[in-house]
A and B are shown apart, each in its own frame.
Chain A
Amino acid sequence: MTFSPELEAKFEEIIGKYPPEHKRSALVPLLLFTQDELGQITAEVIAEVAKRVGVFPLQVEEVLTYYSMLHFPKPMGKKHVQICTNVSCQLTGGEELYKQASRKLGLGHKEVSADGEVSLEEVECIGACSWAPAIQINYDFHHNVTPEKLDELLDGLRKLN
């Protein structure tokens, strides 16, 4: 299988960073970038990535199921809403934000809308405690989120792109 020229270039760059006998270390970034480009990780992707870094497909699956930011076997939506409910955010209303989002989107933890556009996830600390409560949509952080701001963000989801 071949990826887009941009992704191929990225692959080459990342694998090149490691000594050949340790090229399996490139596994996590390769999977993340592939997930970003293709939106999901398929059996075909696993086989291909396994081959490129010299491990067995099962070993790729081990990594995929370990890291929660790698979504496998089920892909997340194009807009993936991640709401932190870890200590700092919990103390400042993170749980309420999560419940609000869940009600509004009609989605539970790691659930995806029927059209595959939006998904929701309750996540652990995303390293933004100073601006708690914090949420993350795809790679964008939103700080000091209020219920109103959350509504706005959620309303805007389908208008993005």
Chain B
Amino acid sequence: MADPVKLTINGVAVEAPQGKLLIEVARSMGTDIPSFCYYEGYSQAAACRMCLVEIEGMPKLMTACTQPVSEGMVVRTETPQVAEARKSMLEFVLTNHPLDCPVCDKGGECELQDATMRYGAGEGRFLEMKFHHEERQWSPVVYYDPARCILCFRCVRVCGEGLGAYALGVSERAVGEEIVPNGSDHLDCDECGLCIDICPVGALTSDSYRYQARPWEMNHVGTICTHCSNGCKTTLGVRNDRILRGNNRDRSGINGEFLCVKGRYAFDFNESDERLTTPMIRSNGELRPASWSDALRFAAGKLKQVKEAGGKIGVVGSTRITNEENFYLQKFAREVLGTNSIDHQRSGDVVTLLDALAGRSGALATTEDLYTAKAVLVIGSDLAQQHPLVAWQIRTNWRHHESHTYTITQGPVREDLHSFARVRVEPGREMEGLETLREKLAAEPELLIVFGDAVKGEKVRELVAFGDSLGIPVKYVCLVDTVNARGAMDMGLMPELLPGYRVAKDAGQPDGMTIPEMLAARDLSVLWSVGADPLADGALASEGAFVIVQDLFLTDTARRADVVFPSASLYEKSGTVTNVCGEVQRVKRAAQTMGAKADLEIIGLLAKEMGVAPVMGPWMTDKVFAELMRTVPGYNISLPVVTTGGAAQTLPPGHRIPVQSDPALIRSVGDTLYTSGTLGKYSKKLNSLMEGPGKLYEERTVREWTHA
């Protein structure tokens, strides 16, 4: 790298890498230079001229957003001349801008408002009528108000360069110039809302939030999206216990400005009319509302009775509840109920991967690695549909670092837009594609392999052997479905494995049943399902089994239940979740639903009712997390990182995991961008999208010219 250069900004000497943009250098030292069109990480537009600064020796003011720093540069960012220039630019920007601030969504957090307050261009000298275009709705999510648009083109760039959707364009010029959607009068896109949040003004608004609230009336709670396993940070805007919006405008967390449609808009399941808000007990064949104390007594009594009689109990945990809850649940099953029959819906073969990598360190990729690896290979997943943040990271890596992307998929994927090489295979023959790419991959300095449920069991070992044979450093990501799918495995929600992948048999634990075995057991006495729906595609062979369900909605399993407890959603509780890359992140309570309780509390109350509270320990998130950190191998992570909203990767177990799990148990449910299991069914927003329910490996997401 070239030597850093020395320059002065407002009299302060700084060093910066040669070629870095002046605006970035100034901002990194805390000197704000206003910008509308500039947005870190995107191509230069130099369209707004708000960033004009004085540079000694230059005949006129220069745009800091396009000016690379050089040796000896002397820069002034706040001189009277600069202020005057910015004021004049604002006067132009405001010629056709309406006086909407009192009603505009952006009022209070608008970059144009801020700049106008700062440079005082409150009065214009234009007497002509304002040029007005009507507002229009482009999709169930996106509205565009051309009158408010200041033509900074951030939206166009984030959608095209950033996401690869290329759904927005610029039409006409001069006063007629405006942003247009790809479907002439509507959008055919990912509905991610990136364009809306990146818009510096209120020209793009979302159906969910528009005219709902002013930014200062809400509490802003940074938590983790409850949908896919990628674990995006989302900031929920909450007023009176109602979630009004989700965004990541502060670019915090592992996802920067990114969120997909689910993270930004599919929080509305939370206030669905169909949320369960009271416990229910089956009497005379029907589920009827009951008090918490009656329901708890009923369920606890049954558990106790069956346990004492030595009956069979099966427990199913969830991929959407916190680590603390799953840990506490398995502890309950193993230590109180004395059963090892605890399982969850598995969606990726993490266990075999950890076993195949035993003894190595640094072989599991982080979300950041997806953005920095020199080469990435994607096997058997339509990432833009199934793992939007992973897709985003890989694309941004290519955009910023010219990394090489390789794909082995059964059909078109968004990565085709920039892939270095791609192989199409029949589903199930993904492994054959590897050899085709061998030569190219071996020539890479390093590789990151991302694989879906097409690679499981023995194939995972073959994949690792292939990685080893390349003779370069290789890291892996084993894709799993939902927000805490990885955490559920780590917490030992499997009959064969205890928390931290310790083999249950070696610890003297009895044999336990998997979900299919529970469903098939004719002598099953109790099925206890927490945030899962095992009966959605399977029936219970034991007709007399007593079914306990904790859930947000009346799922198929809940319909068959004898007792139902209404659970709080992930947005209504605190704790931690572990994402697809094994990174632990903290969730925070944003909202509340009357009548529902967090699963941890429900399990704790059951323990109390059974008189086993002392064995279980307090059902307080912090206490359970402390126990989990202490006892679960790999979870002794950095507390400061997690408590301050960071992502801390867990350590792999480090030892072999000699279990024979049936690969058939592993199956991704194949959610798309517009579906999200049970929660998705109750999101009006997701269901209103024209693009929904979406399809994997679909030409539409890629557009035909890439295949020409």
Contacts and interface: CB of A to CB of B under 8 A. Distances in A.
Interface of A: 50-51, 54-59, 61-62, 65-66
Interface string B151-170: 00000000010000011111
Nearest to A60: B169
Interface stretch (B334-342, B503-511, B605-613, B700-708): B700-708
B172 interface: yes
Given A57-B182, A61-B171, 9 more contacts: A50-B705, A51-B704, A55-B705, A56-B166, A58-B167, A58-B168, A61-B180, A62-B171, A66-B172
B60 interface: no
Contacts of B180: 58, 61
Interface string B677-708: 00000000000000000000000000111001
Contacts of B125: none
Contacts of A65: 171-173
A54 B168 CA distance: 17
Contacts of A57: 182
Q: Which of A50, A51, A65, A66 is packed against the most chain B CB atoms within 10 Å?
A: A65
B172 A58 contact: no
B708 A51 contact: yes
22 contacts: A51-B705, A54-B705, A55-B705, A56-B160, A56-B166, A56-B182, A58-B167, A58-B168, A58-B169, A58-B180, A58-B182, A59-B166, A59-B169, A61-B169, A61-B180, A62-B169, A62-B170, A62-B171, A65-B172, A65-B173, A66-B172, A66-B173
Contacts of A55: 705
5 closest cross-chain pairs (CB), A and B: A58-B169, A65-B171, A51-B705, A58-B182, A62-B169
Nearest to A67: B173
Contacts of B166: 56, 58-59
Contacts of A51: 704-705, 708
Nearest to A64: B171
A45 B81 CA distance: 49
Contacts of A56: 160, 166, 182, 703, 705
Nearest to B178: A65
Contacts of A58: 166-169, 180, 182
Contacts of B160: 56
A36 B704 CA distance: 26
Contacts of A62: 169-171
What is the size category of the interface that chain B forms with chain A?
10 to 19
Nearest to A68: B173
A126 B171 CA distance: 23
Nearest to A61: B169
A62 B170 CA distance: 5
A66 B173 CA distance: 6
Contacts of B171: 61-62, 65
A56 B171 CA distance: 14
Contacts of B167: 58
A50 B708 CA distance: 11
A65 B176 CA distance: 10
Contacts of A61: 169, 171, 180
Q: Which of A55, A57, A58, A62 is packed against the most chain B CB atoms within 10 Å?
A: A58
Interface string B64-75: 000000000000
B551 to A, nearest CB: 43
Q: Which of B167, B182, B705 is packed against the most chain A CB atoms within 10 Å?
A: B705
A57 B173 CA distance: 18
B240 to A, nearest CB: 41
Contacts of A54: 705, 708
B520 to A, nearest CB: 52
A11 to B, nearest CB: 14
A58 B155 CA distance: 14
A50 B703 CA distance: 11
A92 to B, nearest CB: 26
A49 B598 CA distance: 57
Interface string B209-221: 0000000000000
A55 B166 CA distance: 10
Nearest to A72: B171
Contacts of B170: 62, 66
A28 to B, nearest CB: 14
Interface string B374-415: 000000000000000000000000000000000000000000
Interface in B173-211: 173, 180, 182
A51 B167 CA distance: 16
Contacts of B704: 51
Contacts of A59: 166, 169
B451 to A, nearest CB: 30
A51 B182 CA distance: 15
A58 B138 CA distance: 15
B166 to A, nearest CB: 5
A66 B172 CA distance: 5
A62 B182 CA distance: 10
Contacts of A50: 705
A56 B164 CA distance: 11
Contacts of B182: 56-58
A81 to B, nearest CB: 22
Contacts of B705: 50-51, 54-56
Contacts of A66: 170, 172-173
B219 to A, nearest CB: 39
Contacts of B168: 58
A65 B705 CA distance: 21
Interface in B114-172: 160, 166-172
A25 B13 CA distance: 43
A59 B705 CA distance: 13
A24 B704 CA distance: 16
A62 B153 CA distance: 13
A55 B417 CA distance: 11
A55 B704 CA distance: 10
Nearest to A54: B705
A61 B172 CA distance: 9
A18 B168 CA distance: 26
A87 B180 CA distance: 33
A28 B464 CA distance: 50
Contacts of B708: 51, 54
A51 B704 CA distance: 8
A57 B180 CA distance: 12
Nearest to A73: B184
Nearest to A47: B704
Q: Which of B169, B172, B180 is packed against the most chain A CB atoms within 10 Å?
A: B169
A58 to B, nearest CB: 4
Nearest to B171: A65
A66 to B, nearest CB: 5
B162 to A, nearest CB: 15
B300 to A, nearest CB: 60
Q: Which of B167, B171, B173, B180 is packed against the most chain A CB atoms within 10 Å?
A: B171
B301 to A, nearest CB: 64
A61 B160 CA distance: 15
Nearest to B167: A58
A55 B160 CA distance: 11
Contacts of B173: 65-66
A148 B190 CA distance: 59
A51 B172 CA distance: 22
Nearest to B170: A62
A42 to B, nearest CB: 13
Nearest to A55: B705
A66 B169 CA distance: 11
